[in-house]
Structure 1
């Protein structure tokens, strides 16, 4: 059966895994430093990493949508970008996919705003490059 782009029950494992990761990182960002979290992701898988394939891309899209659903609709997370980016970086490591994370800031009126995003092959994933150009990258990491 297909429901909203998911193969049910075939994608249930993917959805559950992403829910666990997104929930974990939503809590963990308040308890551990980002370098410690990113370093921990590197140990989440073994074996060589590869560039993302077409099949990987379809599964990653499902993973990203599942993370968004949990963080935005279920948990009501106001700013889901960091836990989502960490969860997807971790998921990519488990799947053997090379990925990076970027964390940046920009000044908006009198506020300093932060944002994080996933990069695949050096390209932002599901992000508008023009929007990202407004941010100064403060930290980068990878899952290798």
Structure 2
């Protein structure tokens, strides 16, 4: 029954949403590989240079569209062959949003749990947390500023 429901939901996606979902399925393992091969900051810089859209999406429509893209990345991470970590998902989401002309912020926070230091990544768009709980910035102390890509020559 679950597969039938998933198929029905998939059929309801628009053509552009379906293309974004397919991109997410294909790109999640490549993002993981890119981080492993080039390192996070260098890879982030490389992919940020790939899409530099000049237009900006209007705020009201942008939040709704950004959340829809975040949901598609979450679906791809849940049902895809590769199970990404939070940094990989967030980096892909940030890149997909920028492809759509939405300047988003990659955030990283840390917390100490018992004797371990834990880190977590999420994406914010216009002050809204897209791919995590709305209070994640209270559970993890975020770095003072968003993580920006470094300028990398391709």
Q: TM-score range by the shorter chain?
A: 0.7 to 0.9
Task: Flag the structure with larger Rg.
Answer: 2
Aligned partners of 2:121 and 2:41: how far apart in 1? 14
Unaligned ranges ≥5, structure 1: none
Task: Using the TM superposition, give the Cα deviation of residue 51 of structure 1 relative to its aligned residue in structure 2, in angstroms.
Answer: 4.9
Whether contact under 8 Å (2:110, 2:140) holds in the other structure is yes
Task: Name the structure 2 match of 1:37.
Answer: 43
Task: Name the structure 2 match of 1:28.
Answer: 34
Unaligned ranges ≥5, structure 2: 1-6
Task: Name the structure 1 match of 2:148.
Answer: 141
Say what the alpha-carbon RMSD is for the aligned residues.
Answer: 3.1
- When normalised by structure 2's length, the TM-score is 0.72
Residues 76-101 of structure 1: per-residue CA shift (max 9 Å, x gap): 62x63111111111111111111110
Whether contact under 8 Å (1:103, 1:117) holds in the other structure is yes
Whether contact under 8 Å (1:99, 1:120) holds in the other structure is yes
Of 53, 68, 73, 2:74 maps to: 68
More strand by share: 1
Whether contact under 8 Å (1:89, 1:101) holds in the other structure is yes
Task: Name the structure 1 match of 2:9.
Answer: 3
Residues 2-29 of structure 1: per-residue CA shift (max 9 Å, x gap): 6258425553212112222322212222
Please give the residue correspondences for 1:101-116 in structure 2 after superposition, counting only pairs within 5 Å.
101-116=106-121
Cα 1:75–1:114 change in 2 (3 A) is farther
- Are 2:90 and 1:85 aligned? yes
| Matched positions, count | 143
Aligned partners of 2:58 and 2:24: how far apart in 1? 18
More helix by share: 2
